[in-house]
Each structure stands twice: as structure tokens, then as C-alpha cells.
Amino acid sequence: MAESIEEIISLSELEMVEKVEKFKRELTSLRTGRANPQLLDSVSVEYYGSRVPLKQVAAISIPEARTIEVRPWDAAAADAVEEALRKMDFGSSPSRNGNVIRINLPPMTEDQRKKMVKVVHSMGEDARVQIRNVRRDALEKVKKTQKAGEISEDDAKRHEDTVQKLTDSFSRNIDEIVANKEKDLLTV
């Protein structure tokens, strides 16, 4: 059985929500000059013969604005954690005091900030394209439903308008997120 128009629209809306949430998650991994535990989300550690996310072997905290502190739960993992952190490019190397590893993030230069703003704008455009792709798929389904004679031309037009309003709303949401991130990046 084909999807109903309401299902098509609600599934499209859910897909758009997912695209925006994914975009937000991707933005948290960008360095803004302030320490953020999400900067270490991509770090994995060799631990007892397998690669595991850093979060599973250590506590991550932010004691100061530009310092990330990593405390491995198992003292035996400290060397592996330090090695994994050294492979990351933070602009400074991690320092170790016993089992505590600290990463002091240097302040970002004006050029670095401007480059990051360009990256954020590019990521925002990618997210908007993904939302437009969801819109395209939804509009195709609405047209198929109309051609199959399940809905009238007026209903199809009304549903297309609904999908477009959803698209516009989510695109504005992404624009706001990009603007906030840009403001965050350019604030010293």
C-alpha cells in the first residue's frame, strides 16, 4: 500500500529534523577557541587489543575555558590515551601529570577564526542541500499520489505548499544556527 499524504509529510518533517540535528552534532566537533568535550568525540584508543572511543576509557572535563582534562579510569590505559591525543591537532601537545592528561588549547588567530567561519557556512549549505533533497523526494511522492488519482490537483498543490513551508522553516533554522556559530567563532 502506498503511503498516505499525511505520512509522506510527517516522514519528510522527521527526516528534516534529523538533518538539522546531524548538522548541530557536526558543529560541536569544530574548535571555536573554547574547550569543549565534543572535540574529543572522534578520538579512539587502543585498549586491550581493540579500538574504543575515548569516552569509554576516560573521564573528560573542562577545568578552565581553554583546557581539556582527560583522566583514564584504568592507569594501564594512560599511555594509550596520551598517544591517541598526541595524534590530534590541537595546536599544542598534551601534557601528562601522573594519570591526568591536559590539553591547553591556544587562542585561535583571526585567520583561523575566518577559516572556521567559512567551514561553518559550507557545512550549513550542505545541510540545506540535504533538506532540499528531502523536499524533492516528498514532492515527487505527492505528484505520484495525484497521478494515481488518490488526491485532487488542488489537494496536491496544498500539500506541496505544506512541504515547501517545512523546507523554508528548517532552512531558516540552519541559517540561525550558522549565524550563532559564526558569532561564537568571531567573539574573542
CA distance 157 to 146: 10
Cell of 184: 561564537
Question: Which CA distances in Å does 87 have to 14, 73, 79, 83, 107?
Answer: 37, 21, 13, 7, 20
- pLDDT tens digit sequence for 115-129: 889 999 999 999 999
Beta carbons within 10 angstroms of residue 81's beta carbon = 25
CATH of 37-104, one of 3.40.50.720, 3.40.50.2000, 3.30.1360.40, 3.30.870.10: 3.30.1360.40
Going from N- to C-terminal start, the domains of the chain cover 5-29+109-186, 37-104
Q: Which residues are bridge partners to 71 per DSSP?
A: 59
Here the cell at position 94 is 598534551
At 20-57, the pLDDT tens digits run 999 998 887 776 667 777 778 778 888 888 888 888 88
Per-residue pLDDT of the chain (188 residues; tens, 9 = 90+): 357 888 889 999 999 999 999 999 888 777 666 777 777 877 888 888 888 888 888 898 888 878 889 998 888 888 888 888 888 777 677 888 888 888 888 877 888 888 889 999 999 999 999 999 999 999 999 999 889 888 888 888 999 999 999 999 999 999 999 999 888 888 76
Architecture of domain 5-29+109-186: Orthogonal Bundle (1.10)
Look at residues 99, 127, 108 and name the one whose alpha carbon lies nearest to residue 39: 108
Strand-pair partners of 69: 61, 102
Determine contact, residues 156/142, Cβ cutoff 8 Å. Answer: yes
Q: Report pLDDT for 68.
A: 87
Longest dimension (CA), the chain: 72
* Residue 51: strand pairing partners: 46
Q: How high is the pLDDT of residue 188?
A: 61
Q: Give the pLDDT score at 172.
A: 96
pTM score, two decimals?
0.71
98: Cβ contacts below 8 Å, ≥ 6 apart: none
Other beta carbons within 10 angstroms of residue 113's beta carbon come to: 18
Q: How far apart are CA 177 and CA 129, in angstroms?
A: 15
**pLDDT for the residue numbered 1:** 38
